[in-house]
Amino acid sequence: MAQAVICNSGNANTCNANGIEIATQMCELLGKELNIPAKNVIVASTGVIGQPLDIAPIANGISALVSGLGDNSLFACEGIMTTDTKVKEISYEFEVGGVRCRIGGIAKGSGMIHPNMATMLVFVTTDCAISSEMLSAALSEDVKTSFNMVSVDGDTSTNDMVSIMANGLAGNAEIREFGKDYDVFCDALHAVTSYLCRMIAADGEGATKLLECVVDGAVDEENAKIVAKSVICSSLFKAAMFGADANWGRVLCAIGYSGADVDISKVGVSFESEKGKIEVCRNGAGVEFSEDKAKEILLCSEIRILISAGEGSGHAVAWGCDLTYDYVKINGDYRT
């Protein structure tokens, strides 16, 4: 049973000769300070891979960390950042059986973000009373349409995770089975996780634009997800979005090599932002559109790529970002 989380940033514990030992020591140190079993501590680590990690500064800071426990979510957000430029946090209220409950989350993630749970560090907490079995089921199902649908650069990190803890302090009747209360909880959880997904994608290394790909009309949900992820992972398409170039051919190219069950002759594509919406492809072929209007739409900081497959009821959403010069600059000397 998890009761606490400890995380260090700036220096990953992976590919370290003593990485496992250090992780174990971190749990033991915090467990002793909190007077809880070390096995009840979740440990996380992020930063440079393969750099020797010293336990001393961690050990020296445990007492200060514990004494600072309280309503300090912002401090935690800032503490886990690496190349992030913005803190990522959200809180949400909902009702279960007439009882007000709360759920919140903090996250870090900017580079090495690619669908394959987990793809970042995310810590979610709630005061809703829910059994560990139901909590696990809710999170396991949620990541399929949240964090597994985010990609910044196609690289999956070695030090990633998502965790969720519930303390039951809201006082609602404990959720122990599938049903209405469980569904309400799942909706609240997804409100938190999908918001964090958008924040992570928007803050991708060097990014200037959040890309949200919405696929409708696919054969089924799985094929819709394959298409959406393929589009947001396309380096060519991401570069086109950086240049505000309505190169819809890049979208069809990504759909074509995705491996999804799609009849390309039925595919439609539109681009949308706060400046409006423009259709660029219908039935797998181009349509006349204003390049000037398209440029105006694509110069916005949030772009939606709307894809209609025209074959079924499959729906999916994926989040990504544009590919910029700064991404190369950041990762060209990330370690040195």
Active site residues: 119
Distance, in Å, from the CA atom of 223 to the CA atom of 62, rounded to the nearest integer, reads 47
* 319 within 8 A of 203, measured Cβ to Cβ: no
Q: Which of 313, 69, 281 has the alpha carbon at shortest distance from 215?
A: 313
Q: What does the block give as tokens for 237?
A: 């398409």
Q: Where are the beta strands (DSSP E) in the chain?
A: 4-11, 41-48, 88-96, 99-108, 121-126, 161-166, 210-218, 268-273, 276-282, 285-286, 302-308, 314-321
Q: Which of 242, 240, 255, 130 has the alpha carbon at shortest distance from 184?
A: 130
Distance, in Å, from the CA atom of 71 to the CA atom of 276, rounded to the nearest integer, reads 41
Q: Which helix (H) or strand (E) holds 251?
A: helix 248-257
